[in-house]
Amino acid sequence: MFVAMDILDSQLSDYLSSTCDKEPSLLENIDRDTHLKETMPHMLSGHYQGRLLSMISHLISPQKILEIGTFTGYATICLAEGLTEQGVLHTIDINEELEERVQAYFNASGFGHKIKYHVGEATNIIPSLSETFDLVFIDADKKNNLRYYELVIDKVRSGGLILIDNVLWKGKIVSEHPDKQTEQILALNDFIAQDKRVQKLILPVRDGIFLIRKR
């Protein structure tokens, strides 16, 4: 019988967090609030993955970022840290109940003027955006990940990056009898693996991040 697994045990995860930059105090508060108030706090990127997103953003100094799946805004703020002075980040989420709290986090972060927060269906909002993006982070409902990828690929500049979260799916992608959700992850991974428009590799960070560079 297949058992879903964590890629790294908690001791190694704690070590990784201890050797990267400390998370800003606002992000610590968001993490705590998310675990206290949300039923699925594991959806939050967290310290180590957040510092990875911040590092990637700083490396490419994006002018335009698109995030699909805001949740409580933790990853949004991490990505915004690397924006250019005139940079803009569009983030999309379906959950209007979180809007007021998440907007307050953005305002407190110092990046509120750079973040455009869209609440609604991503499949409707993405086509309405006319920008060309330097960086896209997809971390929303997994059944639509392939559709999101296809919607954004032509909106990413040559040399731009797409990051997709949860592509190892707690190790279930190697199960002999994958369930429906796992099959959806596998379909996404297989499609990207064969996509000649991009360079790609999966980073074994938390639940797996597909790092994709458009040619």
Looking up residue 14, the CATH number of its domain turns out to be 3.40.50.150
108-122 mean pLDDT: 98
Is residue 4 included in any domain, yes or no?
no
96 confidence band (pLDDT: 50, 70, 90): very high
Is residue 142 included in any domain, yes or no?
yes
88-104 mean pLDDT: 97
Is residue 189 included in any domain, yes or no?
yes
Is residue 97 included in any domain, yes or no?
yes
Is residue 5 included in any domain, yes or no?
no
Share of the chain above pLDDT 70, in %: 97
Asked if residues 192 and 198 have their Cβ atoms less than 8 Å apart, the reply is: yes
1 confidence band (pLDDT: 50, 70, 90): very low
Q: How crowded is residue 170: how many other Cβ atoms within 10 Å of its Cβ?
A: 16
Q: Is the pLDDT of residue 7 over 80?
A: no
Q: Within 13 Å of residue 139, how many CA atoms lie on the same side as its CB?
A: 28
Is residue 145 included in any domain, yes or no?
yes
Which range has the worst mean pLDDT, 6-10, 35-39, 106-110, 207-211?
Answer: 6-10
What the block records as the tokens of 215 is: 């040619």
4 confidence band (pLDDT: 50, 70, 90): low
> What per-residue confidence (pLDDT) applies to 2?
52
Domain count, the chain: 1
Q: 202 by DSSP, 3-state: which?
A: strand
Q: What value does the mean pLDDT of the chain take?
A: 95
d(CA 157, CA 100): 32
Give the domain range for residue 92.
10-214
9 confidence band (pLDDT: 50, 70, 90): confident
Is residue 3 included in any domain, yes or no?
no
> What per-residue confidence (pLDDT) applies to 157?
98
> What per-residue confidence (pLDDT) applies to 19?
97
Q: How crowded is residue 62: how many other Cβ atoms within 10 Å of its Cβ?
A: 25
d(CA 154, CA 170): 30
35-62 mean pLDDT: 96
Q: Where are the alpha helices (DSSP H) in 67-170?
A: 74-80, 99-109, 122-125, 145-152
Q: Is the pLDDT of residue 27 over 80?
A: yes
Is residue 1 included in any domain, yes or no?
no
Q: What is the pTM of this model?
A: 0.95
131 confidence band (pLDDT: 50, 70, 90): very high
